[in-house]
Amino acid sequence: MKLHRYENRSEMGTAAGRAVEAKLLELLRTKEGLRVIFAAAPSQSDTLAYLRKSNQIPWRRITAFHMDEYIGLSDSSPALFSNFLRHHLFDHVSFKAVHYINGLAEIDAEIARYSALLQENPIDLVCLGIGENGHIAFNDPPVADFLDISAVKKVELDLICRQQQVNDGCFENFEEVPKQAITLTIPTIINASHLICVVPGQTKKAAVHDTLFGPISTACPASFLRTLNNCDLFVDHESSPEIQVLKDRASKDIVINEVICVDEIYGVDFILPADFPTKTYLAPGLVDLQINGINGIDFNSMELTKEDVLAATQYLLSKGVTLFCPTLITGTKDTMFHLLGVIRDACEVYPLVNDCVLGVHLEGPFISPEDGARGAHPKDCIQNPSLGFLEEAIAISDNRIALITLAPERENSLEFIAACVDKGIKVAIGHSMAKLEDIKASVEAGLSMVTHLGNAVPLMLKRHPNILWDLLAEENLSASLIADGCHVPDEFLKVAFKIKGDKSFLVSDATAFAGMPPGEYDAHIGGKVVLEANGKLSMKGSNGMLAGAAKDLLQNVEYLLDSNLLSLSDAWVKGSVIPARYIYGDNFRIKDRVIFEKSATGITIRQVIKSNKTVYAADIVVNASLH
């Protein structure tokens, strides 16, 4: 939702009218005709007055609907919403067609008739307001339903709603206000291509506050509007709550002990209530380029379902991760391609998953078969890079391969790297025993990153030269690091961060065991694994050989803070901004935002805003089917 504030009601109404006019003209450039729903209330009078006088809008290409109507009022009643719209707009311009709700007709038949009209084609624009009780149309809190299966329904009006009609001067006293109405439902309204919401007046101030900052709940039906990226909210001075409009105050993306701005290049101003706690932070969403699973869900299990991918996505959002790469490690071709298909299906079925999965990370099968370098990857599935494999993977995933980790010393690697880069796929070195000449040649071919630097190498290396020195020294390579206190020592993290600077960032390398209690578990790769209380995950009986990680990316950020390795600002940037820019380019800015609190016990995620929609809020369930 975008908020537009004006000093007075007249300025607000005119600005909203211009916005409606501009949106109609924009849409008519690509469509023969439009379908528009209008609200009827005194709050809309200034906007309708502007539209009535407009000489820009070709009304004959527009079909009009009205939003709700009282049951039982006579055709001549000035309080009838259809009469209000006739007086303020409909009798003054020549629409292609106008469809009214008839509150005197047989109710079920009228609901069926009007529903059929609405559902003939999509609605292009809705002009609406918000009630004193937070209603949109006549969806008062007792009857509002975000998942309503009806397009139109009969409702009982609550007491606050009926009193508002008296406050607005539509009726002389409370007893005159009808108790029932026919209304468009919330899904009918919010599924329009665009919404312009106009809310003036002191009596609406509390409702506007709850719409912007309160729980997303039918207790304030309009609160759902803020999850939409196609809604503009116009308020005047009287209806606007006390807020903070965030402005740029620093070059970094998070400022310690302050709330940060959102990059205005993208035209988005985030707002917060005036009493936003000083110990609360607003930051870019975390970005995890290497995650094998989470909270009992394994992206590498043949039992993986698209519902599992959705559940994993929702769990990651609760940890502040708004973009991630499901990571498939070395397996049989059939297994890896099956899993690619499951992830593809999840992206196609669930918009929320599609918005969060920036692409798949293939960590294999083109890695070194040598012990130590290959880690827990099954040796019998490792192979040389294959262009045929690549083409099939791209096709099966529907072009969702974002990153491939390989060992560049393997045959065909240089040709393979060049082909990936040509297709927009990033290539990293990992699980490798490459010599310096292999590294240099692969960088020239387009290799750009080191996967979990410091890991997937033998326990014993020559003092020098060795692959770690070579990778640290290569200035053209970015480096991902696992900062969980188990994979590499703090001293190595310090060195890597200092040498690689803004080319170093965090990945979790989390497995399905992240989020689970300590104990012994059976893993389909690596067999029996042991999860210790400190988060270390190792293959049982392997002298401590790691079997992936058991901490999520947020816990990696917390580890850096607890160990005094980085400041909050620097640690968060390494978990968000830098990996995003590695994938998308230096000018990329994350639009997703995470609101969190920091205390002595750690970081608590309070709200996650993605694509201008609230996709996670503590103690609030946001239904994934709506996203």
Instruction: Kindly report, residue by residue over 459-479, the tens digit of the pLDDT.
Output: 777 778 889 989 999 999 999
Give the pLDDT mean for 124-135. 96
Give the residue with greater pLDDT, 619 vs 548: 548
**pLDDT mean over 63-83:** 94
Q: Quote the pLDDT of residue 627.
A: 33
- pLDDT at 456 (0 to 100): 78
Active-site choice (509, 552, 570, 592): 509
For residue 257, the model assigns a pLDDT of 32
pLDDT of residue 559: 96
Q: Which residue has the higher pLDDT, 434 or 544?
A: 434
Q: What is the mean pLDDT of the chain?
A: 89
Distance CA 105, CA 109 (A): 8
Query: What's the rounded mean pLDDT across residues 187-204?
Result: 95
User: Tens digits of per-residue pLDDT, 261-316?
Assistant: 333 223 334 566 667 665 677 788 999 999 999 999 999 999 999 999 999 999 99
Predicted pLDDT of residue 599 = 82
pLDDT per residue as tens digits for the range 1-27: 788 889 899 999 999 999 999 999 999
Active site residue 210: no
- pLDDT for residue 499 is more than 80: yes
* Confidence grade of residue 487 (pLDDT, cut at 50, 70, 90): confident
Given CA atoms 174, 180, 182, 186 in this order, what sign does their dihedral have?
positive
CA separation for the pair 32, 47 (Å, rounded): 24
Tokens at 240, concatenated = 């606007």
Position 196 confidence tier, pLDDT thresholds 50, 70, 90? very high
Q: What does each C-alpha distance from 203 to 13, 75, 131, 151, 208 come to in angstroms?
A: 17, 29, 9, 29, 10
Model pLDDT, residue 205:
95
Highest mean pLDDT among 62-66, 259-263, 539-543: 62-66
Q: Residues 5, 200: contact at Cβ < 8 Å?
A: no
pLDDT score at 277: 63
Identify the weakest region by mean pLDDT among 85-99, 255-269, 426-440, 547-561. Answer: 255-269
- For residues 508-517, one letter each, b for 16 or more C-beta atoms within 10 angstroms of the residue's C-beta and e for the rest, the string is bbbbbbbbee
pLDDT higher than 60, residue 259: no
Q: Is the pLDDT confidence value at 81 over 60?
A: yes
Query: In the structure, what pLDDT confidence band is assigned to residue 61 with cuts at 50, 70 and 90?
Result: very high
Q: What is the mean pLDDT of residues 416-438?
A: 96
Determine the pLDDT at residue 543: 65
Does residue 110 register a pLDDT over 50? yes
88-93 contact pairs (CB < 8 A, 24+): 88/40, 88/44, 88/45, 88/48, 88/49, 88/52, 89/38, 89/48, 89/51, 89/52, 90/64, 92/52, 93/51, 93/52, 93/57, 93/59
User: In this structure, are residues 553 and 285 in contact, taking their beta carbons and an 8 Å threshold?
Assistant: no
Per-residue pLDDT, averaged over 115-143, amounts to 96
Whole-angstrom distance between the N-terminal and C-terminal Cα of the chain?
A: 15
- Percent of the chain past pLDDT 70, that is, above it, reads 91
Indicate the range of 260-264, 331-335, 551-555, 619-623 predicted with least confidence. Answer: 260-264
Domains contained in the chain, CATH given: 2-241 (3.40.50.1360), 286-516+551-593 (3.20.20.140)
pLDDT-derived band of residue 244, with 50, 70 and 90 as boundaries?
A: low
DSSP classification of residue 261: P
Of the candidate ranges 128-137, 520-529, 545-554, the one whose mean pLDDT is the lowest: 520-529
* The model scores a pTM over 0.95: no
pLDDT at 255 over 60: no
The pLDDT of residue 622 is above 70: no
Strands (E), 113-204: 125-128, 152-156, 180-184, 194-199
| Closest to 568 (Cα-Cα) out of 552, 577, 555, 557 | 557
Whether residue 310 contacts residue 352, with contact meaning beta carbons closer than 8 Å, is answered with yes
* pLDDT for res 276: 64
pLDDT category of residue 529 using cuts at 50, 70 and 90: confident
Whole-angstrom Cα distance, residue 123 to residue 193? 7
Q: What is the structure's pLDDT at 249? A: 37
Q: What pLDDT is attached to residue 268?
A: 36
- Prior bond to 465 cis, omega within 30? yes
Among 436-450, 470-484, 562-576, which stretch is predicted with the lowest mean pLDDT?
A: 562-576
Query: Do 614 and 607 meet the contact criterion of CB atoms below 8 Å apart?
Result: yes
Q: pLDDT-derived band of residue 567, with 50, 70 and 90 as boundaries?
A: confident
> What is the reported pLDDT for 145?
93
pLDDT at 620 over 70: no
Q: What is the mean predicted confidence (pLDDT) over 312-336?
A: 96
- The predicted structure's pLDDT at residue 424: 97
